[in-house]
Structure 1
Amino acid sequence: MTTMPPAHLRLTTVDSEDTVRIELHGDLDYDTADDLLAEVTAVLGARPHLDDLHLHCAGLGTVDSMGLSILLMVRRRTGQAGVRLHLDDRPAVLDRLLTITGSLNYLTGSSPGGGNSASLDVGEAPGAGDEARAARPTGPDGTS
Structure 2
Amino acid sequence: MTAGVLNLTWARPEPGAAAVAVRGDLAHGTADRLLADVTELAGEAGLTRIVVDCGELAFCDSHGLAVLLMIQRRLSAAGIALDLDNRTVRLDRLFALTGTAALLTGSVPKARSQS
Q: What TM-score results when the alignment is normalised by the length of structure 1?
A: 0.71
Aligned residue in 2 for 1:72 = 69
Which of residues 99, 107, 111 in structure 1 aligns to 2:104? 107
- Return the alpha-carbon distance in structure 2 between the equivalents of residues 110 and 84 of structure 1: 15
- State yes or no: 1:82 paired with 2:74: no
The amino acid across from 1:21 in the alignment is A
* Gap runs ≥5 in structure 2: 111-115
Larger strand proportion, structure 1 or 2? 2
**Identity within the alignment, %:** 41
- Return the alpha-carbon distance in structure 1 between the equivalents of residues 99 and 74 of structure 2: 19
Q: Report the alpha carbon displacement of residue 34 of structure 1 after superposing the two structures with TM.
A: 0.3
- State yes or no: 1:9 paired with 2:6: yes
**SS of match in other structure, 1:38:** helix
Runs of 4 or more, structure 1, over 4 Å off, are none
Q: Report the alpha carbon displacement of residue 18 of structure 1 after superposing the two structures with TM.
A: 1.2
- State yes or no: 1:59 paired with 2:56: yes
Residues matched between the structures, number: 107
- Return the alpha-carbon distance in structure 1 between the equivalents of residues 88 and 25 of structure 2: 12
- State yes or no: 1:31 paired with 2:19: no
The amino acid across from 2:96 in the alignment is T
- Return the alpha-carbon distance in structure 1 between the equivalents of residues 51 and 25 of structure 2: 18
Aligned CA RMSD, in angstroms, stands at: 1.3
- Which of the two has higher C-alpha Rg? 1
Aligned residue in 1 for 2:90 = 93
The amino acid across from 2:62 in the alignment is S
Q: Which has the higher contact order (CA 8 A, sep 6+)?
A: 2
Offset from partner CA, 1:27-51 (integer Å, 9 cap, x none): 0000101010011012112x22211
